Amino acid sequence: MRFTHGETAILVDCGLFQGSRSLETLNISDFAFDPKSIAAVVLTHAHIDHSGLLPKLASRGFKGKIWCTRQTADLLEHMLADSGRIHEADAQRHNRRRDRAGDPPFDPIYTEQDALDAWRRCRPVDLEEWFEPAPGFRCRLWNAGHILGSASVELENSGVRIMCSGDLGPDNKAFYHDPAGPAGFDHVICESTYGDRARPQITLEERRKLLEAEVRGAIVRGGNLIIPSFALERTQELLLDLINLSRSGAIAGVPIFVDSPLANKVTGVFASYAAELEDTGGENIFDYPSFHLVNEVAQSIRLNSVSGAIILAASGMCEGGRIRHHLTHNLHRRDSTVLFVGFQAQGSLGRVILDGAKSVRVSGKDVRVRAQIRRIDSYSAHADQGELLDWIEERQPIAGSLFLTHGENDALEEMRRLLQQRSPELSVRIPEIGESYGLTPGEPAKRTATGPVGLQEAIGRDWQNSYAQFSTSLKQELAKIRDKKQREKAIEDMRQVLESYKDSKQKKKLSRRDEAKA
C-alpha cells in the first residue's frame, strides 16, 4: 500500500505476488510508481507476500529506510536472501530450457545480493513507540499476533488517523499475546484471509491431540507423514507440538526431519528469542534429540529411502522448494500421508491436491495421487471470521471507511455482508488491485483512480492451472476408451476443437478488416 501526501510517499509493505502463474507474472512488471519517490517503507512482518519485493524496490532506486520490529529485521535477513537465491535459480533454469534457445536471457527479479542490500536498510523499532519514517508521517507498531515480530501499523498524517492491520493472528496462538491496538480511526485497512470461515476454538492441548491422531494414523499405514510447511512460523509451531507429544511418550521414537535450510535458519532466530516467547518455558525447546535438521541436498535425497518418518519441508503451498521432491516420491504411495496444516491459495499445487485431484504435475512430471490426503485447520496463523470481526469492532469508531483486503473474493464479500449487517452506516470498501483513494478525516474514502484493465483477472485460478489438471488426467481418460478407433477419434475431436478456436479468431480478424475497408 502506498500513502502519499504532497511530494512525500511511503509504503506499508512491499510483497511478492503469490498464487497462479498469471498473478506471479506481476512480479516482473514495473512498479506503478517510481521507486525513487518512496521515502520509507513500514513493514508489518517478514512473510514474503508482504516483504518479497523490497529487494526489487531497492535495486530500482529506493534509498530510504525499512522500519520494522527487531524480530522482523532478524528474520528478513534469511527470508529475503533465500528469495533472491530462488529467483536466481529460476532464471538459470529458464535459460537452460531448449525451447528458449536463441531467446534473450531471462533475468531474475532480483539476486541474493540485492536482497541483502535491501535488508541492510532495516531500522528496528519497538512496539507502541512513535517514530517518523518520513516528513509528515507518524507511526506506531502494535502486536498483530500473526508470526514472530508481526505488527499492525498505526499511521497519522495531516490529521488523518489510519490503522493497517497487516496479517492478524488468532486468539490464544502459540508463542504470542493476542493482537492489540487502539480505537477510534478515520480509516482502517483490514486483512480478510479467513473472512468466510469460522474455525472451532480449541486449546493447544486439543490441537496436539489432533496432531497425535494424524501422526499415529500415518505411522500405522507404514509410510511417511509429509507435511508441507511454511519455513517461517508454521514449522516452529509444529516443532513445539511435536516436542510436547514426544516428551509425553505419545509419539516416542518417531524420527522428525526438517528438510528446509531456510526453516532451520528461521528456527535459530526463534531460539534466540525463546525467553520472550510464550509456551516455551523460557528454554530453547528447538534443540531436541528427535529433530534432524536437513540442510545439504545429499541428506535430502537420502530421505527417499526412509519410511515411518515425519518430514516437514517448504513451501507450505507446495509451489517450490524441497516439498515438491518429497511429493514426487510419496504422493503415489498408498502407505504415505500428506498432511496440510496451512492455507492453500487458489492456483497453488497444494490447493489442487487438497481439492481432490487424482493426478498432479510436479516439477514437470505427472504424479498419481494415491497417498492419504489429510488436513488440520487449527494451525492457521490468521484470525478467523469471528476474530476479524472482533478486531474491527475494537478499532471502532471508524469515522471514514473500512477497507477489506488480502482475501479471496468469497471471503471479502462475506466479510462485507456481515459488517454491513452489523453496522449499516459503516462505509465498507473492497478495493481492486491498482485502485487509488483519497482519505480525509471523518469522511468516507473517495476513489480517485481505477486499476489497469485486466489486472483483476490475474487474481485466482488461471488457465495454466486448468491445463495442468486436464493434461495430467488426459492419458488416464483416454486409456479408459477400450476401442482403439474410438480413442483415435477422441484425440482427433479434441484437435478439431482447438482448431475451431483458431478459425474463430481468424474470422474475427477478417471481419474487422472488411469493416474497416467499408
Domains, the chain, with CATH or none: 2-198+381-458 (3.60.15.10), 204-379 (3.40.50.10890), 463-504 (no CATH)
The length of the chain is 518
Is the per-residue pLDDT at 492 higher than 70? Answer: yes
SS3 29: coil
Is the per-residue pLDDT at 99 higher than 80? Answer: no
Predicted confidence (pLDDT) per residue in 39-70, tens digit: 999 999 999 999 999 999 999 999 999 999 99
Start-to-end CA span in the chain (Å):
49
Query: Which residue from 300, 262, 10 is spatially nearest to 138, judged by alpha carbons?
Result: 10
- Give the contacts of 465 (CB within 8 A, at least 6 positions apart): 20, 21, 347, 352
Mean pLDDT check: name the lowest of 2-16, 70-84, 309-323: 309-323
Output the pLDDT for position 480.
Answer: 83
Output the pLDDT for position 82.
Answer: 95
- Residues of the chain with pLDDT > 90, as a percent, come to 71
Sign of CA dihedral 208, 209, 212, 218: negative
Give exposure, 26-64, as e/b (b: 16+ Cβ within 10 Å): ebeeebeeebeebbbbbbbbbbbbbbbbbbbbbbbebeb
- Give the contacts of 505 (CB within 8 A, at least 6 positions apart): none
Output the pLDDT for position 355.
Answer: 93
Predicted confidence (pLDDT) per residue in 135-189, tens digit: 999 999 999 999 999 999 999 999 999 999 999 999 889 999 999 999 999 999 9
Q: Report which residue type is found at 409.
A: N
Mean pLDDT check: name the lowest of 354-363, 383-392, 412-421, 495-504: 495-504
Mean pLDDT check: name the lowest of 277-281, 333-337, 441-445: 277-281
Mean pLDDT check: name the lowest of 27-36, 76-85, 452-461, 488-497: 452-461
Residue 361, all three cell numbers: 504435475
Is the per-residue pLDDT at 75 higher than 70? Answer: yes
**Confidence tier at 252 by pLDDT (50, 70, 90):** confident
**Confidence tier at 484 by pLDDT (50, 70, 90):** confident
Is the per-residue pLDDT at 452 higher than 80? Answer: no
Output the pLDDT for position 498.
Answer: 83
- Give the contacts of 380 (CB within 8 A, at least 6 positions apart): 170, 194, 199, 342, 343
Angle at 17 between CA 459 and CA 374, to 5 degrees: 75
Q: What are phi and psi of 509, to 5 degrees?
A: -65, -45
Is the per-residue pLDDT at 456 higher than 60? Answer: no
Is the per-residue pLDDT at 507 higher than 80? Answer: no
Query: Which residue from 270, 233, 254 is spatially nearest to 311, judged by alpha carbons?
Result: 254
Report the predicted TM-score, pTM, of the whole model to 2 decimal places.
0.83
Is the per-residue pLDDT at 220 higher than 60? Answer: yes
Is the per-residue pLDDT at 459 higher than 70? Answer: no
Output the pLDDT for position 509.
Answer: 58
Is the per-residue pLDDT at 460 higher than 60? Answer: no
SS3 415: helix
Mean pLDDT of the residues in the chain? 91
